[in-house]
Structure 1
Amino acid sequence: MQSVAVTLVDANKLFREGLKALFADRDFQITQGASSLDEALSLVAGKDTPQLILVDPAGLGDVSEVVGSFKSACPEARIVLLSTQLDAGVMARAIQAGADGFLIKDISIDALDQSLRLVMMGEKVFPTHLAALLISGRANGNGALDAPPVSGKGLSQREAQIVRCLLNGDSNKIIANHLNITEATVKVHLKSLLRKINASNRTQAAIWALNNGFGEDTAGGNNLEIA
């Protein structure tokens, strides 16, 4: 792959310089850095248009407006959000606004490199635990999933609620708090659910749910890569 010119937008100067150094011997070259949205927009609107904009959305305002501003100023560039927080609502709004990826800062440099390569190939790249939200298109502004209809697979209403939580990547503790039941009760329902759908673990259950009416694919046919 030919060298890719990257504009890095992050309020932390040390992080910008550190990532630039880590990319020094790779195909991604950070040629411009900015600490604010206005500064970044001024840079990308110049003659040295980047091929990739890597941005931490923290403190920049509404993520939809941030992504939209970059899309308008630099329509040919890929846009990837690199965040410190795994927030379903922020990711959903970013994707709806046209972002090409959403990654978390604790990713290794090799994984980041590979993810960005996929983005430059036209793929969409997101964290594993939030991929289901993109696939289902059911993330609302608060990062929660809207309730899907219960499929005709013999699931109880409670089991259907737990499936919905599994799609969100929730732990048993989070599910218990969300449904106002004990973790022990969650385990009982989860065991029953796995038996009914012939799944051996939570991941298989989430995949089953996506394939059985709990998540309609509204990603427009785009390929999905999971980081």
Structure 2
Amino acid sequence: MSGVPTLLVEHSTLFREGLCKLLARTGFIVTAMVSHSDEVETDSSPDPELIIVGVSENDTGFEKNIRALKTRFPQARVVVLADQYIPDQVHTAFRLSARGYLMKTINCSTLIKSLELVMLGESIFPSAILTRMVDEQGVDIEIDDEIVTEVPTISHSSRSLSAREMQILQCLVRGQSNKMIARSLDIVEATVKVHIKAILRKIHVQNRTQAAIWAVNRLDPPPAVLDGHGALDTHGAAYKSNRVHMAP
């Protein structure tokens, strides 16, 4: 993954500048910072590939802001950073095809990994809020089997994992294929498959994507791998793109 042009839209100057400094250490290149979508310059270049939108509890212009950004930059992936989970905001984010809804209280490493997954085609939304929306509001939501959630519902410890399984989990976080894992650890691909099946069973998840999210939330991340230009290197790996559908 090369450097990702990123637009920050956030009312708080302090939060905006802090996030900019955090992203400067990664493969995300902040090309503009504004407090509202109206402030984005018409001749800004390059167009952002990622737009991070900060929202507060009483942000009445949330939907208008997202619509304006999606209209202006239709190819960009939008991620919402919220003060707290607001069901109406989550519903709106889904409806407007945002790719993620995260809390501003998220830790730095999990935020960066979440943004990386978004750029690799994943959608990241809190599973707890989706369930509550269905139960309380009767919202019709259809989610693919491999949908990524910010906080997986399982809470099992990593103590039962072997040292080799921990290594393979970190490879999954980096998006490596079985063949790439086998090459980097100097083992055969069939052995990798056996280890991954054991990992899924031990941490009680269904697939490698959920295992990667589990690891992001519970294990210390390895140092970021950067290329010579300061861009994040994921070794050419790509995650399966998932879809999230919500009836308006």
Pairing 1:63-142 to 2, within 5 Å after superposition: 63-132=62-131, 138=134
Aligned to 2:12: 12
Counterpart selection for 1:145 from 137, 140, 153: 137
Aligned to 1:225: 148
Contact in 1 for aligned 2:55/2:83 (Cα 8 Å): no
Identical amino acids, percent of aligned pairs = 30
Aligned mates of 2:145, 2:89 — CA distance in 1: 20
Instruction: Give the residue type in structure 1 aligned to 2:44.
Output: G
> 1:62 offset after TM fit, Å?
3.9
Contact in 2 for aligned 1:104/1:127 (Cα 8 Å): no
Aligned to 2:39: 39
Aligned mates of 2:8, 2:103 — CA distance in 1: 15
Counterpart selection for 2:53 from 39, 52, 55: 55
Contact in 1 for aligned 2:55/2:62 (Cα 8 Å): yes
Aligned mates of 2:64, 2:142 — CA distance in 1: 22
Aligned mates of 2:145, 2:81 — CA distance in 1: 21
**TM-score normalized by the length of structure 2:** 0.54
Aligned mates of 2:148, 2:86 — CA distance in 1: 18
> 1:217 offset after TM fit, Å?
4.9
Task: Give SS of 1:56's match.
Answer: strand
> 1:216 offset after TM fit, Å?
6.2
Aligned mates of 1:36, 1:83 — CA distance in 2: 15
Task: Give SS of 1:71's match.
Answer: helix
Of 52-61 and 96-105, deviating more is 52-61
Aligned mates of 1:222, 1:52 — CA distance in 2: 25
Contiguous gaps of at least 5 residues in structure 1? 147-214
Contiguous gaps of at least 5 residues in structure 2? 151-248
Task: Give SS of 1:103's match.
Answer: strand
Q: How many residues align?
A: 149
**CA radius of gyration, larger in:** 1
Instruction: Give the residue type in structure 2 aligned to 1:225.
Output: V
Aligned mates of 1:217, 1:86 — CA distance in 2: 17
Aligned mates of 2:45, 2:60 — CA distance in 1: 26
> 1:28 offset after TM fit, Å?
1.4
Aligned to 2:26: 26
Instruction: Give the residue type in structure 2 aligned to 1:96.
Output: R
Aligned mates of 1:54, 1:32 — CA distance in 2: 11
Q: Deviations over 1:63-114 (max 9, x none)?
A: 3332221111000100000011111111111111111110000001100011
Aligned mates of 1:4, 1:47 — CA distance in 2: 13
**Higher share of residues assigned helix:** 1
Q: Which has the higher contact order (CA 8 A, sep 6+)?
A: 2
Q: Deviations over 1:1-52 (max 9, x none)?
A: 2111111011111111111111222111222100122113x36x63321110
Contact in 2 for aligned 1:9/1:35 (Cα 8 Å): yes
Aligned mates of 1:87, 1:217 — CA distance in 2: 16
Task: Give SS of 1:7's match.
Answer: strand
Contact in 1 for aligned 2:134/2:141 (Cα 8 Å): no
Aligned to 1:154: none
Task: Give SS of 1:33's match.
Answer: strand
